Amino acid sequence: MTPTFRIALIAGDGIGKEVMPEGLRVVQAAAERFGFELDCRTIDWASCDYHAQHGQMMPDDWKEQLQGVDALYFGAVGWPATVPDHVSLWGSLLKFRREFDQYINLRPVRLFEGVPCPLAGRRPGDIDYVVVRENTEGEYTSLGGVMYEGTEREIVIQESVFSRHGTDRVLRYACELANSRARKHLTVATKSNGIAISMPWWDGRADAIGRDYPEVTVDKQHIDILSARFVLQPTRFDVVVASNLFGDILSDLGPATTGTIGLAPSANLNPERRFPSLFEPVHGSAPDIYGQNIANPIAMIWSGALMLDFLTQGQGAGRAAHDAILGAIEAVLRDGPRTRDLGGTASTTELGMAIAERVAAA
């Protein structure tokens, strides 16, 4: 029987609306080529246009409307001219992440041939790793407060929260991922020399979980030197796991070392599949280039490949589809056409069509 995956398409705002059709074009070409069905549902909320009409980003029954969906394929939200960014973000994307317990934020980082690297002397193959960020707790809490506010004695306290459950599950996910890759190397971001309570504890959990994966090399590195090595020695990395704050920083720094933001994909995962996972480009809605059909659709397309891989649990047709899409992206980055951010003149649509054609012929 042909497997069917139910996908909610949420284009959002700005270039989200331009890269979505190209992502879908490629994902559908892959489904046709590799033998599975996509049951796609277009969602017109979770956008600032919807907000303009309804005063909120999503309908009250948004969760019911997504019942039975396996994955959310998401463009970008944000149109600061009409809705402040924190309102659009907290009213949509961050709600999905939280309510669907998408505790893994996954960002592959890779340097491709044909893409100028901001790091001198780096070649394709030198940068090829995955950042796994804890997405639900850690440093990002609203616990704390201000004392003696407005006086010379003013004191601010902001708590971090690390639960054993929340920490172990992200470390275990990262160990599993490292174990499934050729190099079997895991870097654990820490700062146990400065953050004297939570980080030594985090290190201890990494040691404990790591013991279940004897084939994986676990390398704990302080976040300061680790950041420097992203720039100076990127070949050291395979899988990198980090708390919410450190992961946030690393998952922007990594893609920045590989050229344009127009390439960087991400996945927000609930690995147990109790809730739908969400796949989106790292970039935002880019109001400055919206409406010209010049946005690079590759980040959206690569996110679609991650989605297919996840839906099929990294096996069979989904893995083959993922690899074919990556191969097509690689070929187009090498041989063209190229969008403006890559120094070319091709349109969003032309790039999407070129990649879809290669996938169909894979």
Which residues contribute to the site for Mg ion (CB under 5 A)? 78, 284
Q: Which is nearer to ligand ATP, 189 or 263 (CB)?
A: 263
Contact 244, 138 (CB under 8 A): yes
324 binds, among Mg ion, ligand ATP, none (CB under 5 to 8 A by kind): none
Residue nearest to Mg ion (CB): 284
Question: Closer to Mg ion at the Cβ: 96 or 213?
Answer: 96
List phi, psi (to 5°) of 248. Answer: -60, -45
* Cβ-based nearer residue to ligand ATP, 78 or 234: 78
Least distance from C-beta 27 to ligand ATP, angstroms? 17
Length of the chain: 362
Structure token pair of residue 123: 């070649």
Smallest gap from residue 136 Cβ to ligand ATP (A): 19
Question: How far does CA 35 lie from the centroid of its chain?
Answer: 26
Q: Minimum CB separation from Mg ion for residue 360, in Å?
A: 33
Name the residue whose CB lies closest to ligand ATP: 284
CB of 13 to Mg ion, least distance (A): 9
Residue 33's CB is within 10 A of a number of other CB atoms, namely 18
Task: Name which of 191 and 283 has its Cβ closer to ligand ATP.
Answer: 283
- Residue 130, binding choice from Mg ion, ligand ATP, none, Cβ under 5 to 8 Å by partner class: none
**Residues contributing to the site for ligand ATP (CB under 6 A):** 15, 78, 261-262, 283-286, 288-289, 295-296, 299, 341
Q: Which two tokens stand for residue 17?
A: 């609306």
Look at residue 75 and give the partner it binds from Mg ion, ligand ATP, none, a contact being a CB closer than 5 to 8 Å depending on partner kind. none
DSSP state letters, 37-93: EEEEEEE--SSHHHHHHHSSSS-TTHHHHTTT--EEEEEE---TTTS-HHHHHHTTH
Least distance from ligand ATP to the Cβ atom of residue 283, Å: 3
Q: How far is the CB of 92 from Mg ion (least distance, A)?
A: 12
Minimum distance, C-beta of residue 256 to Mg ion, in the bound complex (Å)? 16
Give the position of tokens 């190209």.
Answer: 22
Measure the CA dihedral 339/76/245/159, to 10°.
160
Q: Which is nearer to Mg ion, 75 or 234 (CB)?
A: 75
From its phi and psi, is residue 174 left (phi > 0), alpha (psi between -120 and 50) or beta?
A: alpha
CA dihedral 47, 49, 52, 58 (to 10 degrees): -30
Q: Whose Cβ is closer to Mg ion: residue 281's or residue 284's?
A: 284
Please, are residues 12 and 45 in contact by the beta-carbon 8 Å criterion?
no
Pairing label, strands 277-281, 265-269: antiparallel
Give 3 or 114: the residue with its C-beta nearer to ligand ATP.
114
- For 101, phi then psi, to 5°, come to 45, 50
Work out how close the CB of 285 gets to ligand ATP at its nearest, in angstroms, rounded to a whole number: 5
User: Closest CB to Mg ion among 19 and 209?
Assistant: 19
